[in-house]
Amino acid sequence: MLSFLDRERTVAPRGYNRWLIPPAALAVHLSIGEVYAFSVFKTPLVEHFGTKLTPIGIIFSIAIVMLGLSAAFGGRWVERAGPRKAMALAALCWATGFVVGALGVATKQLWLVYLGYGVIGGIGLGIGYISPVSTLIKWFPDRPGMATGLAIMGFGGGALIASPLTEQLLSAFAAEPQDAIVPTFLTLAAIYFVAMMAGAFTVRVPADDWKPEGWTPPQRSKSSLISAGNVTATNAIKTPQFWMLWTVLFCNVTAGIGILEQAAPMIQDFFSSVNAAAAAGFVGVLSLCNMCGRFVWSSTSDVVGRKRIYMMYLGIGATLYFLLATMGTASIALFVLFTGIILSFYGGGFATVPAYLKDLFGTLEVGAIHGRLLTAWSAAGVAGPLIVNGLADIQEANGQDGAGLYTLSLFIMVGVLVVGFIANLMIRPVNERFHEPERRVEERRAAEEQRFTRDGDRARARPAPTTTTRSEP
């Protein structure tokens, strides 16, 4: 029964349309993207546990840290096990996280919520996040940025769906939101489990020798960043390119997450006329920009190149932060425009990075390398809010108020983005000594092929004549 989840059972048959793959990835990413809407639960949880915001905020922090760790340590397993098994595991962890979290809420044991939503759910986040990425890159070698942008867009868009849905569930199950957390958690667990398992059922990997008809890999010049070889995850972290890209992602996420996390109070501090409902609308607009940036900018990177698009994210991003610090109070429309563009670059940075990795390190273990790179997200998830919140507290203690609370942190973000810009400029093609010998890559693929034939035959009990037929590349 469980052999259904094996990688060998997911190889696409002849005639399978590659446009049937993105909804599988979107189903997973839209589900786990719920984590960005966790703030909806904050006040009900504070009321329910009779505690302060900080212990409740830890739930989200644990989930994000676990996302980075599980992506880093589970990346290689995801590559080996294939997307279906990984998506099914992610579905199980994500739904179990909600169920254990609900148990914690029902028994008023906050540590169970940490364990459930934070640890178990966080593992589901990490595995779910990376599971469709390398599969999509293999299906769309001609448009890797667009393909990963489409999937990762779901992670940004998850909050757009989860936020109103959660609010409606909380008000439907009980008169007071704090009394409706348990059934809401359980309902979300069921919805997301079904959606993610539908994605797992649908996903297919292309055969090793498959490529879009009529497509030939681009010719590479010596200065091109696009690698002709493949690098393993173990070797990738020994290259300066990996750590430069780690720095780029860290800087881009630190700058974006600082605004995202503090968006509602920030706009109210900048403009005293903005009420709570309008601030919530602002958060929604930022989520939309975050989501659209993932698809639009990542697709654009297929045309203009990865290095250039990151120069735009980081260079224009730094300029916009400077403008926010100096003239952010001029008008609400200008403030929304600047922060919206910054958030679209934040999302674009996430979505473009798998294609950047594919260019630098090849497709052999791109999922595992991506997983390791996501530790930059975990680090930035701590650094960004720490800079913005910490400096706002210090400024307040010094007698500042309104927009003045953020001026220093906005200037620091300019510096952070300049550091990222320089790191991106320093990225050069990976030295060939890190490339796996072609012979070893072929041997590895042949071994996988052999394993496929053996396990596939065993799974079906009776081999069909077409099972070993290979089409022309």
Partner 1 sequence: MSDMATDGRHDGHHGAAGTKGAALTAMILWIVVALGLAYGLFNTVKTATDLFTG
Q: Where do contacts with partner 1 occur on this chain (CB under 8 A)?
A: 9, 11-21, 23-24, 26-27, 30, 142, 154, 157, 160-161, 163-165, 195, 198-199, 201-202, 204, 206-207, 209-210, 212-215, 273-275, 277-278, 280-282, 284-285, 287-288, 332-333, 336, 452, 456, 460, 462, 464, 466-472
Which is nearer to partner 1, 34 or 436 (by Cβ)? Answer: 34
* Residues, the chain: 473
The C-alpha atoms of residue 435 and residue 445 are separated, in whole angstroms, by 16
Spatial neighbors of 377 by CB under 8 A, at least 6 apart, are 64, 67, 68, 249, 253, 350
Which is nearer to partner 1, 163 or 409 (by Cβ)? Answer: 163
Task: Enter the tokens of residue 433.
Answer: 């000594």
Minimum CB–partner distance for residue 158 and partner 1 (Å): 9
The C-alpha atoms of residue 6 and residue 466 are separated, in whole angstroms, by 19
Spatial neighbors of 259 by CB under 8 A, at least 6 apart, are 266, 286, 339, 342, 343, 388
Which is nearer to partner 1, 68 or 144 (by Cβ)? Answer: 144
Minimum CB–partner distance for residue 15 and partner 1 (Å): 5
Which is nearer to partner 1, 286 or 374 (by Cβ)? Answer: 286
Which is nearer to partner 1, 304 or 464 (by Cβ)? Answer: 464
Minimum CB–partner distance for residue 7 and partner 1 (Å): 12
Max CA distance (Å), the chain:
79
Task: Enter the tokens of residue 177.
Answer: 């939101």
Minimum CB–partner distance for residue 111 and partner 1 (Å): 32
DSSP string across 106-153: HTT-HHHHIIIIIIIHHHHHHHHHHTTHHHHHHH-TTSHHHHHHHHHH
Which is nearer to partner 1, 223 or 469 (by Cβ)? Answer: 469
Spatial neighbors of 31 by CB under 8 A, at least 6 apart, are 91, 94, 128, 158, 191, 192, 195, 196
Minimum CB–partner distance for residue 143 and partner 1 (Å): 10
The C-alpha atoms of residue 38 and residue 383 are separated, in whole angstroms, by 19
Which is nearer to partner 1, 431 or 467 (by Cβ)? Answer: 467
- Beta carbons of 128 and 78 less than 8 angstroms apart: no
Minimum CB–partner distance for residue 141 and partner 1 (Å): 11
- Beta carbons of 239 and 432 less than 8 angstroms apart: no
Which is nearer to partner 1, 69 or 81 (by Cβ)? Answer: 81
Q: What is the DSSP letter of 471?
A: -
Minimum CB–partner distance for residue 456 and partner 1 (Å): 7
Per DSSP, the three-state class of 43 is helix
The C-alpha atoms of residue 105 and residue 47 are separated, in whole angstroms, by 11
Which is nearer to partner 1, 37 or 391 (by Cβ)? Answer: 37
CA 293 to chain centre: 13
The C-alpha atoms of residue 99 and residue 107 are separated, in whole angstroms, by 12
User: Which residue's structure tokens are 């220093």?
Assistant: 408
Minimum CB–partner distance for residue 36 and partner 1 (Å): 11
Minimum CB–partner distance for residue 73 and partner 1 (Å): 29
Per DSSP, the three-state class of 232 is coil
Which is nearer to partner 1, 21 or 368 (by Cβ)? Answer: 21
Minimum CB–partner distance for residue 315 and partner 1 (Å): 28
CA 438 to chain centre: 31
